[in-house]
Amino acid sequence: MSEAIIEVRDLAVRFGSSTIFQGVSFDVRAGEIFVVLGGSGSGKSTLLKVMISLTPPAAGHVRLLGTDVWGSEGAARLALLKRIGVMWQAGALFGSLTLQENVEMPLAEHTSLSPRARAEVARAKLGLVGLSAAARKLPSEISGGMLKRAGIARALALDPPLLFLDEPSAGLDPITSAGLDALIRDLSRSLGTTFVVVTHELASILEIGDRCIMLDAKAKGIIAEGDPRRLGEESAHPTVRAFFHRQAA
């Protein structure tokens, strides 16, 4: 629980003339569940996109698993991409493939496992997220909560040591959301997977978060960092206190 698996330094993102955030620096340690908090428009999802090399930053750098995300290309970049998994906000499952085929796809693309072995592995991953019975369904035939769980199953396909989850519990009922939180906790404990979770669901933050940072649209950067269970009491920043106490700021 010591080495930094993600290193973010002085990151800034601008769209045109408007600055989303700047001077963002933090570390994520191996094996922890790291939560990125913030209200709507604070740049949480943008930060995630910069970390997984989708949106280029205006300044600063990101190192994932020892590799500079924005300095690597070709084989080095592919090797890095095989070691991270992403669960997208709306699942982003391939609509023309069944859930089983969705999970098998990265395995077929990046491993030499035989088709039978692939099917068995995909069955295990779908079982891990409780979707065994829906293996042959298309993404358009299942509910929103199931889509998110299937998204996690696909992100887990190559057993990456680092998983990014974008709003895993947004739009889910409390029971499904709690189930998802338990799943994340379990995977983190039993597999040692590091999670970076972008969310604004308070219950979920307190349940799973080991450490968190909080972004703010007005401050254009990090306004708090630490244990989410203590931030609400310890932080002097009014927005942080308001967030954790569910007050209108």
Structure tokens at 201: 């669901």
Does the protein bind other proteins through residue 35 (CB under 8 A)? no
Shortest separation between residue 139's beta carbon and other proteins, angstroms: 7
Out of 4, 105, 113, 219, the only residue in the binding site for other proteins (CB under 8 A) is 113
Out of 17, 18, 40, 114, the only residue in the binding site for other proteins (CB under 8 A) is 114
| Size, binding site for other proteins by CB under 8 A | 36
Footprint (CB under 8 A) of other proteins, residues 137-156: 137-140, 156
Out of 54, 78, 79, 249, the only residue in the binding site for other proteins (CB under 8 A) is 79
d(CA 246, CA 240): 10
- Select from 31-39, 111-119, 172-180, 217-225 the region that touches other proteins (CB under 8 A): 111-119
- Select from 12-20, 106-114, 169-177, 211-219 the region that touches other proteins (CB under 8 A): 106-114
83: Cβ–Cβ under 8 A, 6 or more apart, which residues? 65, 158, 160, 161, 162
Shortest separation between residue 193's beta carbon and other proteins, angstroms: 9
Contact between 247 and 221 (Cβ < 8 Å) = no
- Select from 69-77, 105-113, 162-170, 216-224 the region that touches other proteins (CB under 8 A): 105-113
Choice between 50 and 122, CB closer to other proteins: 122
Does the protein bind other proteins through residue 130 (CB under 8 A)? yes
Out of 4, 105, 108, 128, the only residue in the binding site for other proteins (CB under 8 A) is 128
Per-residue DSSP letters for 117-185? HHHHHHHHHHHHTT-GGGTT--GGGS-HHHHHHHHHHHHTTT--SEEEEESTTTT--HHHHHHHHHHHH
Structure tokens at 146: 């199931």
Contact between 68 and 50 (Cβ < 8 Å) = no
Contact between 25 and 8 (Cβ < 8 Å) = yes
d(CA 61, CA 82): 20
Binding site for other proteins (CB under 8 A): 79, 83, 95-96, 111-114, 117, 120-121, 123-128, 130, 132-140, 156, 158-159, 161, 186, 189-192
